[in-house]
Structure 1
């Protein structure tokens, strides 16, 4: 399924008030993981600005020990500080990378903004080297714009 075909499905999920916010977030993760072949782990992290930590929210994929990540640590922690998308074509070449699984080859993290504040991010791992394009970035920005409406 193309990104354009997925967009109305994202809107359907995020606007469905019969589910809780976390249920909708999980459904978004499931939709992406099931329909984009190189997305092997899809999840959300949410910021605690007082403690300067990210906390794992709904996700699909292999279980992770990284349920709390300090700002600045790993790709997710760097995005919490930079407020910018971070695409890692090859995690083995990244100094400040937190390994979740030996099968992960690449990662993309896109910040989630609500009223101009970075409240978290969508994090996607892939078992393929360098699969993420600018189209992925624009699509995930769209996903986060829809998710932001839940806050």
Structure 2
């Protein structure tokens, strides 16, 4: 499967201590956005200090106005509260959805845990309806676990 071929590249990028943590996360976002045809925007959001909000820390794709997302708002904000993966096959079917682009049709958000605490998430927007599978979820969980290692 395609995901298996990218795990070593993700691991190598994240292990490169000559780059800052943010630069490594950005390179992972770029790798995903450039190599997975339905990963049109990839970003990492993290809890913004003690505030009940998320702050965009690294991304690849079109710039977004949504650099700060309150807990509970949109898919990302809901994951910050639920601590669970959220796969949205069709964003039009979601009441609590924040539109980042008129082209976004689907979204997947996977929480990132450090020492059992949800500290952030990886967020992927797709211009394709219902492209994400269980394999995407598992691959993104792997990436988040690797990112948590460089944050600890």
Runs of 4+ in structure 1 over 6 Å off: none
> How far off its partner does 1:150 sit?
1.2
The aligned residue for residue 97 of structure 2 is 97
CA deviations over 1:22-50 (Å, ceiling 9, x no partner)? 01000000010011110000000001362
- Distance in 1 of aligned mates of 2:82 and 2:31: 28
Equivalence map 1:9-48=2 (5 Å): 9-48=9-48
1:113 aligns with 2:147: no
> How far off its partner does 1:110 sit?
0.2
The aligned residue for residue 127 of structure 1 is 127
The aligned residue for residue 64 of structure 1 is 64
1:139 aligns with 2:131: no
- Distance in 1 of aligned mates of 2:50 and 2:21: 23
TM-score, normalization: structure 2?
Answer: 0.97
1:53 aligns with 2:49: no
- Could you list the runs of 5+ residues in structure 2 that have no partner in the other structure? none
Question: How many corresponding residue pairs?
Answer: 151
- Distance in 2 of aligned mates of 1:70 and 1:50: 12
> How far off its partner does 1:90 sit?
0.2
